[in-house]
Structure 1
Amino acid sequence: MAEAVTLQRNPIHRALSRPNLLIGADRELVLITGLASIILIFVVLTIYSALLGATLWIVIVAALRMMAKADPLMRHVYMRHMAYKPFYKATSTPWRRY
């Protein structure tokens, strides 16, 4: 007779498979925009620059959150897209001599 085979289950922890987000947006982009806003506030040192810096940061973080909601890895996809050439010649292999 054939024995019943039980499947082994291995848990995948959420921390290993989730994207790295901060305030619901891409971590690096949020930190860079926060740094740029703080630099704007403390370099100019006027009330208008403080309001502009805070408003700019809030608007940009809202846009980054919408971007992360659509695709948490959109920044990586865009960077890969920018690395592609606009045109690839039709050759049998990329390493063929011309």
Structure 2
Amino acid sequence: MREAVCLLERNRIHRALSRPNLLLGADRELVLVTGLATVILIFVVLTVYSALIGLAGWVLAMGILRHMAKEDPLMRKVYLRHIRYRRIYRPTSTPWRKG
């Protein structure tokens, strides 16, 4: 009798294809929106106090965003999906079901 030998084929997956898209250690879109809000605050008000408040706010927000990304890099997407869920789903297979 001849035994069938099954060899598993291995394919390498490049690291950049499976890692989340982060910028400065936090979610890319949230970092860009926070930076944009900070720049708008600084250059629209144009005072020393607005620059200090803007930079302090950006440093604080970056700390929070980096902590959030360290816990779960996809937390923003999970939260956005979570708020789309309804509180109660009717126990029917379709909304158009009669009965």
Q: Is the pair's TM-score, using the shorter chain for normalization, greater than 0.5? A: yes
Normalising to structure 1: TM-score of the pair?
0.92
Q: Which moved more, 1:28-37 or 1:82-91?
A: 82-91
1:54 is matched with: 55
Normalising to structure 2: TM-score of the pair?
0.91
2:23 is matched with: 22
Residue 88 of structure 1, CA deviation: 1.4
Residue 53 of structure 1, CA deviation: 0.4
1:45 is matched with: 46
Q: How many residues align?
A: 97
Q: Which amino acid aligns with 1:71?
A: D
Matches within 5 A, 1:1-98: 1-91=2-92, 93-97=93-97
Structure 1: distance between partners of 2:90 and 2:23: 41
Residue 3 of structure 1, CA deviation: 4.6
Question: 2:3 is paired with a residue of what secondary structure?
Answer: coil
Gaps of 5+ in 2: none
Percent pairwise identity: 60
Gaps of 5+ in 1: none
Classify 1:3/1:88 alpha carbon distance in 2 versus 1 (closer, same or farther; 3 Å): closer
